[in-house]
Amino acid sequence: MGKKHIFNAGPCLLPQVAIDNAIEALKDFKGTGVSLISISHRTKGWDEVMDECRALWKELLHIPEGYEVVFLGGGASLGFLYVAMNYLENKAGYLETGVWAKKALKEAKGLGNAFAVASSADKNYCYIPKGYEIPADLDYFHITTNNTIYGTEIREDIDCPVPLIADMSSDILSRPVDVSKYALIYGGAQKNAGPAGVAFAIIKTDSLGKVSRYLPTMLDYRTHIDKLSMFNTPPVFSIFVMNETLKWLKGIGGVEAIHKINVKKAETLYAEIDRNPLFVGTAAKEDRSIMNICFVMAPGHEDLQDEFLKFAVARDIVGIKGHRSVGGFRASTYNACTQEDVEALVAAMQDFEKLHV
């Protein structure tokens, strides 16, 4: 069996060193003689993991003073509710750029006046809306920076007249971010930051405490800030692997270095999609994601889709089937995906072309 080239949209491919270190910790956590998944979160040494993980987030993203990082259960889907609970008082605006943005808006509508300021639903979310105006009287404006299903991405930090909140589940740590422009950045870890089972939130602390509603203890961000993400038992395994993943990222040069690598990977694959007569990209070129590269068979070749998927699998290429709601193909080139992986996919596309053109 050859090396697998993994393009899964999530849970993601993780650095091998993080996997190896997790395996060792599963056997024995820091010389305690107890497995990582059997320790108490009050075990001596666990605080060090939590402290190091928070510090690495702050270092890698250059998070300024006045922000805290917390680790939570429930993923970004619960985060949709966290956002509305903690920030929605009068009205909130959302940029609707895909399924997850739409779901985030739905949760907010359940609590109050929330609406789409702009939407790309008219063209099946294949572009990022532009030229819209953000009302100055919003409690917050919510964006989903990367849209995994449709392959679009907001790659620059926008200027916003109201508190800006972003779901960065699938592009966090893949590119530099000016955290100071956001009241809150949140997301699930399972794309670039670690395994499934833990979510992150980067919170500007003075943005909290502005709503009059009762906040259930577990849905109040301040609970988790005050208790250092250990108000209840944290997902210790997921946080440990996250910490190992962040250590790997720091070791290769941090976010700035991985961004250059990610851009090269994306450019390599998009160039082949645009050149190869069998394939066509689905996202507007100016809004193409560098994390989730979506494409389909070109017109007239649609009947080759299943054949190409089988062809790719035979080449040890894993996880390129598009989301069930859109079909086609999706190559998720998250941080641990390598240039070698991308070139293997490109070679498969070129060889498939030779068979059919």
Q: ∠ CA(212), CA(161), CA(113), 5° rounding? A: 40
Cα separation, 119 vs 7, whole angstroms: 28
Helix (H) or strand (E) holding 202: strand 199-204
Cα separation, 13 vs 18, whole angstroms: 11
123 is catalytic: no
**Pair type for strands 317-318 and 5-6:** parallel
100 is catalytic: yes
Chain CA centroid to CA 136, Å: 28
| Greatest pairwise CA separation for the chain in angstroms | 65
* From 167, 171, 220, 287, active-site residue: 167
Q: Which of 335, 179, 194 is nearest to 263 (CA)?
A: 335
* From 57, 191, 220, 287, active-site residue: 191
Cα separation, 249 vs 253, whole angstroms: 7
Whether 66 contacts 58, CB under 8 Å:
no
Cα separation, 174 vs 264, whole angstroms: 12
Q: Which of 203, 229, 223 is nearest to 67 (CA)?
A: 203
Helix (H) or strand (E) holding 119: strand 113-119
* From 46, 57, 100, 248, active-site residue: 100
Cα separation, 18 vs 20, whole angstroms: 6
φ, ψ at 328 (rounded to 5°): 70, -145
Q: Which of 184, 225, 174 is nearest to 61 (CA)?
A: 174
SS (H, E, C) 301-333: CHHHHHHHHHHHHHCCEECCECCCCCCCEEEEC
130 is catalytic: no
Cα separation, 10 vs 299, whole angstroms: 29
Residue 94 β-bridge partners? 116, 142
Residue type, 115: F
Q: Where in the sequence numbering do the catalytic residues fall?
A: 100, 167, 191
